[in-house]
Chains A and B, each alone.
Chain A
Amino acid sequence: MIPLDELLGFSGVLFAIGIFGVLTRRNFILLLVSIEIIMNAAILNFIAFAAYSPSGSPSGQSIAVILIGLAATEIAVGLAIVLALNRIIGSVNVAQAMELKL
């Protein structure tokens, strides 16, 4: 079995990559990908902690399945919003949607 520390380290790296992506990317699709990477880090954490839980309770795995569903829902809504915006401004670049700054 892979040691818990290595799993947590891996999910920590995933988290850092995701945060970096959210902060630097201006393309909406790449932003969504970065957010997904963070979500996957959280899912990995739940599974890792559940596998090493002293009680052997499978709740961590069930939470992971639920979170995968949540992530899919979120992406669907995000793509719908960016599609509607794309029809109006003709771009998926977040930096071009800045009319609101007064």
Chain B
Amino acid sequence: MVALPYLLPYLPELTLLVATFVVFLLDVAGEHRRTTLGGVSAFFLIVAFVEVLADLGTWPFHALSTLPASWNGTAQGPILFTSLGIVFQGIFLAIAALVAIASLSEAEDPDGTPTFYALLLLASLGMLLVAISGDLILLLLAVEVTGISTYVLVGYTRKDRRALEAAMKFYIIGAFSTTISFFGASLVFGAYGTTSLLAFSQVPSDPSLALVGFAMIAVGLGFKVTLVPFHMWAVDVYDGAPAVVSAYLSAGSKKMGLFALFAIFVGAVRVFDTAGNGYALAIMMGGLAIATMTVGNVLALQQQTMKRMLAYSSISQAGYMLIGLAVNTTPSLSAATLQMVANVLMKGGAFVAVAAAAAIGVGPLITDWKGLGHRRPILSASFAIMLLSMAGIPLTLGFVGKFYLFFSAILAGGLFAILAIVGLLNSAISVFYYARILKHIYMPEETGSPDAHGGTRSLASSTLGSSTSPTDPQPSVAISEFRAMGYARMGVIVACAVLLIALGIYPTPIVTALNAAAHQFVALH
């Protein structure tokens, strides 16, 4: 019998476990409406998020914390609570809650809705476990909990051929990469004689065996994180999956893979730097970072559809974040985490915005967004803020993250400065394709039917069409825009955009907290 006090520190994980069963039970009870199931899921996710904030000691929730202070930073069997891990739990729960709320505006689907929310909660549970794993096997198993849930999540509609195809590709790549990771883990186990993550900061008895094992784990997780050259699947999957699922994959499960890389490699990269092995792991990480940034950006330049462009830009963002691991200092890890917080808001928000645009009949091509800035001012402005943040324009959180990231690479000196230079060049390239989209959105409207796909309601509510509809007075334009694309969805989009600007102007509290968390993480590993 496990005493209850021993379970209390795991309150966020238990909350999601309970939530998953509640959703399944509601399904059995015949409840298939999005408002109920989505509302329940969002409620539990927000409760778990508050608990995570409490564990971090955030005012005013700190009194609610159930995590003993002595547990933070000491291994409890295979579990290891760290401040950085808890920050990541917050990131994972934030994107899950965002997706749960935004999906309230999706079309009703009695068959798929319960599956969708149950799997969303289960995948988030796996992510939470990744963030507190202190053991390589537990970590890879938790990655796979999320993996198996997301394979199904991509194809959950079961009738859409493109989504099912995406699910199949995702499954093959996912299962393949998992087995490679486990094969690598078996070699690492052989070299160290243990699978505890904290042991990896010592020199193993057989360094070359450990190096091969680590390289295989990096390849396996590299598939999950969409590092070049393991990125081919990502674009097809993000393109074929429902847009809210793409948001979850791009902003959620990719961050999970990056945290897994951090947890495994922060100690190992340092050891192999100092043990006379010629910076093998640091060079590998740096090379992957450069390849990922460059290839992602160059391919994003040529894309014609919005979702594929976002998918390639998501790949290049992963490359920026990997700089944090290659440099492997406290500032660089903290900066990479900050960049991930920004990524949740801008990538999650952008994919939801694509879903919102599709709901009012905007086609998949980038040119289909032409003139949307005049017809849908709120959606377009929010989307523009997200694009500017991805490009790293000042006054957005994306700029702050990139600035700290490149600055930390320059601070580390030596060859690491190359990473900063390549990163800067890539940022410059990326401005081209983001600016091209902005130009389309805010281009003056061409003559002819302004809203050919939009149907009568969106035509009546558009600013240009308002002169032809006397029943729809001017002040209600914003309200009708919310109505046409769903209140929940628009609320999420606007909240993301506002947070990007707010945190971009005043990032000090979050930077301070991340610095402290990264410092503890590096000292521990």
Contact = CB atoms under 8 A, between A and B. Distances in A.
Interface of A: 15, 18, 22, 28, 31-32, 35, 38-39, 41-43, 45-46, 48-49, 53-55, 57, 59-60, 63, 66-67, 70, 73-74, 77-78, 80-82, 84-85, 88-89, 94, 97-102
Given A35-B175, A53-B193, A100-B240, 18 more contacts: A31-B172, A38-B183, A42-B179, A42-B183, A42-B185, A45-B186, A46-B189, A49-B186, A54-B193, A55-B193, A70-B144, A74-B148, A78-B175, A81-B167, A85-B164, A101-B236, A102-B304, A102-B305
A53 B151 CA distance: 36
Interface string B211-231: 000000000000000000000
Contacts of A32: 175
A49 B305 CA distance: 50
A99 B162 contact: yes
Interface in B123-174: 137, 141, 144, 148, 151-152, 155, 158-159, 161-162, 164-169, 171-172
**Which of A57, A63, A94 lies at the interface centre, i.e. has the most chain B CB atoms within 10 A of its CB?**
A63
- Per DSSP, are chain B's interface residues mostly helix, strand or loop, or mixed? helix
16 contacts: A35-B175, A35-B176, A35-B179, A38-B179, A42-B186, A55-B193, A57-B193, A60-B189, A66-B137, A74-B178, A85-B164, A85-B165, A88-B164, A99-B162, A100-B169, A102-B305
Nearest to B174: A74
Nearest to A100: B236
A77 B148 contact: yes
A100 B239 contact: yes
B161 A89 contact: yes
A63 B175 contact: no
Interface band, chain B = 35 or more
Interface of B: 137, 141, 144, 148, 151-152, 155, 158-159, 161-162, 164-169, 171-172, 175-176, 178-180, 182-183, 185-187, 189-190, 193-195, 236, 239-240, 304-305, 308
Nearest to A88: B161
Closest 3 CB pairs of A and B: A45-B186, A49-B190, A42-B183
A94 to B, nearest CB: 7
B175 A97 contact: no
Contacts of A46: 186, 189
A41 B182 CA distance: 9
Contacts of B168: 28, 81-82, 85, 94, 97
A27 to B, nearest CB: 12
Q: Which of A38, A63, A100 has the most CB of B within 10 A?
A: A100
A46 B176 CA distance: 18
Contacts of B169: 97, 100
